[in-house]
Amino acid sequence: MPASNQSFFENVLRYFDHAAALTGLPKGLLDQIKYCNSIYHFKFPLRNPDGSVEVISAWRVEHSHHKLPVKGGIRFSPDANEDEVMALAALMTYKCAIVDVPFGGAKGAVQIDAGKYTAEQMERVTRRYTHELVKKNCIGPGIDVPAPDYGTGEREMAWIADTYMAINTGHLDALACVTGKPVTQGGIRGRREATGRGVFYALREACAQKDDMKALGLTSGLEGKRVAIQGLGNVGYHAAKFCREGGATVVAIAEREGAILNTRGLNEDQVLQHKKETGSILNSPGATNLPGSNDVLESECDVLIPAALENQITAENAPRIKAKIVLEAANGPTTPEGEAILQEKGVFVIPDIYANAGGVTVSYFEWLKNLSHVRFGRMGKRYQETMENRMLRAIEIATGKQFSESDRSAIVRGADELDLVNSGLEETMAVAYHEMRDTQLRNPKIKDLRTSAFLNAIEKIARAYMELGIFP
Ligand code: GLU
């Protein structure tokens, strides 16, 4: 893995400072926005099956309370550390602001290699982690709402919800204490694939801009674009799926064990199936192996999607990157030094704080669903169908022609939960893209989308503080 000589949080501060310098906002207000409001580091014991006990380190960082609750995932990783959680919490704040999700930013982590423990132990760790958050008032529907991140998923979110509800019996809104839950436990349809789907919408929006694509020497539209993806976890897998279904060709995929290439296109389901059977993506049928996971970053492609961890594109490897577009599905995959080189090379970077915001956007929808205690679409679906049928009937009477059954069923369809979630996500990603791009086009000093994304976020957060009357 290419090393970065700066800490992840320092990198985020650099990105922040670069954009903040364009705002003209007072230093006190900018400082209030940029630093983490609270950092909670705690430890708890875990008993192993052989009777030995080890002490586990864990964190919850709340970066900004300008809006409540604060929101952000929980990472289970042996490499988790305080600096990383701080950086990720800060990115959550900006991400929420960019897509107008009315939350402050937070992040949590447990320093553990989940693969080395039994499911029972992981359940104990997750429930204990939740108890520690409850003790310090760091979880609750109106306080701080965790979600999945690297190393966690629906299973852990269900344990968190269950633990919280056991402590808060009778609290009507208790289910809204965490998002990313299984649908049967108060989750929402479409959350699992939301980040990857959002990444796809981001790319589709960028590729639809004829002038931008022309400047990069690319045709507009997704059709035929060669995509390389680092990481086939939940985000990478779904990004690959939606991009392929949208007409792109996935020419390279990397996992920890190495990377595979196929210029005619890879199918993420087949690659994942191969990994399930053999324990590795290497030697997937029809593909060529590359020795290192990071080789994928330098592969021949039009669009590079880092969908793994931070600090992947650095000053060391950026000169060799061939992609014209870097679409940051991971949080913090590019260091400021790496980014400077990409910029010199004319690479179009779609920044993480926008590109991967689909996850938290649909988390917001889940939270709303939990608070309203009703599934989206339940009240309106049938009514919409009735109205559409009436409209068709009126057209039939006016024209004297009959719609066929297949035409009728293609036209008459009330929106269900998944339709509404996906449409809300699509709208959110499209609007935020143009907000970010327009800011850049309006300001000749801004050379990249990251700066305009940060600038928009900082200005929105600053406005919230001013409206609260905290700053003049
Ligand atoms: N962990 C995800 C992220 O980094 C999702 C956070 C959320 O849904 O609250 O954006």
394 burial (CB, 10 Å; 0-12 / 13-18 / 19+) is exposed
139 and 45 within one domain: yes
Residue 460, domain extent: 188-380+415-472
461 and 342 within one domain: yes
Which of 161, 185, 209 is the C-terminal boundary of a domain?
185
192 and 170 within one domain: no
Catalytic sites, residue numbers: 107
For the chain, list residues with pLDDT below 70. Answer: 1-5
The one-letter amino acid code at 248 reads A
Q: What's the CA-to-centroid distance between 88 and ligand 1, angstroms?
A: 9
227 and 176 within one domain: no
136 and 193 within one domain: no
Q: Which two tokens stand for residue 219?
A: 């045709």
117 and 194 within one domain: no
Q: What's the CA-to-centroid distance between 331 and ligand 1, angstroms?
A: 10
> In this structure, is residue 397 part of a structural domain?
no
276 and 235 within one domain: yes
231 and 157 within one domain: no
> In this structure, is residue 280 part of a structural domain?
yes
Average pLDDT of the chain is 96
Q: How far, in Å, are 75, 138, 158, 159, 396 from residue 164 at the CA level?
A: 18, 11, 10, 9, 55
> In this structure, is residue 340 part of a structural domain?
yes
> In this structure, is residue 402 part of a structural domain?
no
Pairwise CA distance, residues 67 & 101, whole Å: 10
pLDDT at 343: 97
Phi, psi of 86, deg, nearest 5: -60, -45
Pairwise CA distance, residues 104 & 64, whole Å: 5
Question: Count of alpha carbons within 13 Å of 16, Cβ hemisphere only?
Answer: 23
Pairwise CA distance, residues 64 & 37, whole Å: 6
Segment 192-224, tens digit of pLDDT: 999 999 999 999 999 999 999 999 999 999 999
209 burial (CB, 10 Å; 0-12 / 13-18 / 19+) is middle
Pairwise CA distance, residues 12 & 10, whole Å: 5
Which of 185, 207, 225 is the C-terminal boundary of a domain?
185
Segment 21-32, tens digit of pLDDT: 999 999 999 999
> In this structure, is residue 237 part of a structural domain?
yes
Which CATH number covers residue 171? 3.40.50.10860
What is this structure's pTM?
0.96
Please count the structural domains in the chain: 2
Which of 185, 216, 246 is the C-terminal boundary of a domain?
185
pLDDT at 91: 98
pLDDT at 467: 86
Listing DSSP states for 364-412 in one string gives: HHHHHHHHHTS-TTTTTHHHHHHHHHHHHHHHHHHH-----HHHHHHH-
331 and 310 within one domain: yes
> In this structure, is residue 26 part of a structural domain?
no
178 and 96 within one domain: yes
> In this structure, is residue 385 part of a structural domain?
no
Within 6 A (CB) of ligand 1 lie 71-73, 95, 147, 149, 179, 331, 356, 359-360, 363
Q: In this structure, are residues 458 and 19 in contact, taking their beta carbons and an 8 Å threshold?
A: yes
pLDDT at 4: 54
Cβ within 8 Å of residue 252, ≥6 positions away = 228, 229, 259, 260, 261, 262, 266, 290, 296, 299, 301
Report CA Rg, the chain.
23
DSSP bridge pairs for 350: 327
Of all atoms in ligand 1, which is nearest to the CA of residue 71? Answer: 9
166 and 206 within one domain: no
> Do strands 226-230 and 303-306 pair parallel, antiparallel, or not at all (unpaired)?
parallel
Q: What's the CA-to-centroid distance between 329 and ligand 1, angstroms?
A: 11
Which CATH number covers residue 304? 3.40.50.720
366 and 264 within one domain: yes
